[in-house]
Structure 1
Amino acid sequence: MTALIFIARHGKVALICGLLAGLLLPDIAQVLRWRIPELVALLLLLTAFRIGLVETLSNLAELRRTVLAVLILQLALPVGVLLIVVLLGLPVTPLALALVLVMAAPSVTGSANFAILLNGDPAPALRLLILGTALLPLTCIPVFALLPGFGDISDVMIAALRLLVVILAAAALGFALRHWYAPDLSERGRKATDGLTMIVLAVVVIGLMSAVRPAFENDPVELAFWVVVAFALNFGLQAVAYLTLRRRGSPAATPLAIVAGNRNFALFFVALSPQATDPLLIFLGCYQFPMYLTPTLLRRLYDSR
C-alpha cells in the first residue's frame, strides 16, 4: 500500500511516463493496443470502487443537471458547429470532422481520475460518463443526419450500447466490491486505490499512442499539425467550460470542464469509412497528449477558483 500511495502522490508523473513509454516503446504499444478494452473496464471498476455507489448517487437532484450537461456537450455543440459548416457551404474536412466528433462524443473513462488529481469531485464526472454513454444513441442522430455519407448510424448505436454494457458491468462490480469488502474505505485505502488507478491509466495510454510513433517517422509535419489541433481543442473546451461554470457558481465546475475537453470520440470510428478515419488515427494518438497532461498543465486554471 505504501508504494501505491507514493504513486498516487506522484500521479501526474505516472501519466507523463505513460506518454513517454508510448512514444519510446512502439512494439509494446502495439501489443497493449489490443488490450485497451480490458484495461478500460479495469479502470472503471477501480473508479467505481474508489467513489462508491452511495457517493455517486448521493444527490439525485443532480440527475437533471447532468442530463442537461450531456445535451449541451454532446448535442448542442457539435450540431452548432455543423450548422455553421453547412450554412457557409464549407466541405467537411478531416479537421472539421475531428472537431465535430470530439464534441459529439461522451466522456473518456478516465475523467473521474483526472478530477481526483485536480482535487475535484469525481462523482459528477462518473455520472456524466454513464449518462453520456447511455444517451449517445440519441444525441448522435442529429449529428450523423448532418454528416451524409459518413457511415451507418446503427453502427454507432451498437458501439455505444456495447460500451454502456461494459461501463455498467464494471461499475456494478466495483460498487459491489466496495460494499462487500470496504464499506468504510479509509483515506489510506483511497490513496492506494488512486495509485493503482494511475498505473492502469499509464498502461492504457501506451496502447493509445500506437499510431503516434509511426506518424512521427513518416510525416512529422502532419503530426505537429494534429498535436496543435488536439491541444487547442481539448484545452480550449476545458477553459471555456470551467470559466463559464465558475462564473455561474457551479460546485461541479472542475469535473464538468474536464469532461468537456476529454471525450471518447474513438467510438465513432466503427461507423465511419476508412477514408474518413485514416487521417483521424493520428489525431486520436495526438489527443492523448492534452488528455494526460491535463492534471499537469491545467492545474493553475483549476486552482484559480
Structure 2
Amino acid sequence: MISMADTVKMPADIARECEESVEYVQLVADVLLLHDDVEPTAVEPVTSASDSYVKCRDTIVARTKGLAILVRDLTVQLRGAKLSDVSRTLRSTAEAVIALTEAATHAAYTIGVADPRSKPYQPGLVDRYRFSRARFGITSACRKFHKDYGSLTEQQIVQVSSQIAANLTVLTESSRMAADIAPDPMSQDQFRQCAKSISGTTAALLSAIKCYAKSRQEKDREKCIIFTKPLLETINAMMAFGSLPEYSGVAARMSEQGREAQCAILGGAMAVVSSSIRLFTSTASLIENHEDPVQWQKMMQCCKAISDSTKLLSGALRENSITGSQRAPFFAVNSQE
C-alpha cells in the first residue's frame, strides 16, 4: 500500500472513487449503449443530419485526445503516488468517457435516422437518460453518509448537499415539465404530485445535513441516513411512473442500412467504455499494490486498450458518414445535470 504524507486522500478514498467511476460509466453505458432503442442525446437542437454528425465527430475527436492526455497523466501521478492528483484525474477521466459516449450515441442515432427509410424518435414525457443520471448523482451522494465512508469534513458535507440539491432540481423540473405536456388531467396531477413528493422529502434531508455539518455528531449523521431512504424511494417511484409505456414516447425505427452503421459506432463506443472500466479497476488494484510489477503491466495494458478502442471508434466514424443531402428531424435532449 502507498505510504505518503497526503492528508487529503488515502488509498481507500481512491479505491472508492474508482468504484464510483465504474458505476457512473456503467450506468451511462447501460442507458445509452445497451438499450435496444438508441435515442438522440444532443444538447443543441439541429435541423441537419450532416451538421449534427459533424459536430458529434468533432466532439469525439477532441474527447479522445483529451482522454489520451488524462490516461497519461494518471499513470504519471500513480508512479509518483500523488493521490490528490489521481483523485482529480479519475473524475475527469470518467466525465470524458461519459461525454464521449453521449456524442457517439448521438452520432449513431443521427446516421441511423438519416436514411430515408428510417423514422426518428418521438420523445416521451420524461427524459430517461437525464433522469437516470440525476438519480445516480443523488444515490451516490446519499451513500457518503454511511459509516463505511469514514468521517466527512465540513467541506465534503457541503459538497454532498450541493450535489443532492442540484440533481433534485433536475428531477423536480422534469416532473413539472412532464405535467405541462401530459395528455390528460389525471396524469398532469400525478406528475405534479411527484414533484411535490420529491421537494417534501428533500426538505427534511437537507435540514438534517445542515445540522450534521455544524455538529459533526453521529446522532445527526444517523438522521441524514434516515431521511435519505424516503427520498430515494420517491425518486424510484417517479422513475417507474415516468417509464410507463403511455409516457415513454415512440422508439426510432431504423432501416437495415442505418442499423448497421449505427452498430459500428456503438461498438466502438462500447469498446472505449469497457477499456475505461478496466482502467478504473486496475487503478484501484495498483493503489493497494503500488510496487507490484504485475499490476503495472495490467495498467499499461489498460492504457493500450483505451488507445485501441478510441481508434476503433474513430474508424467507425470515418467509415460511416452523412452527406449534406441526407437530412432528418432531431429532438434536442438536454443530458446535462
Normalised to the residue count of structure 1, the TM-score between the two structures is 0.32
Give the TM-score taking structure 2 as reference length.
0.30
**Rg (Cα) greater in structure:** 2
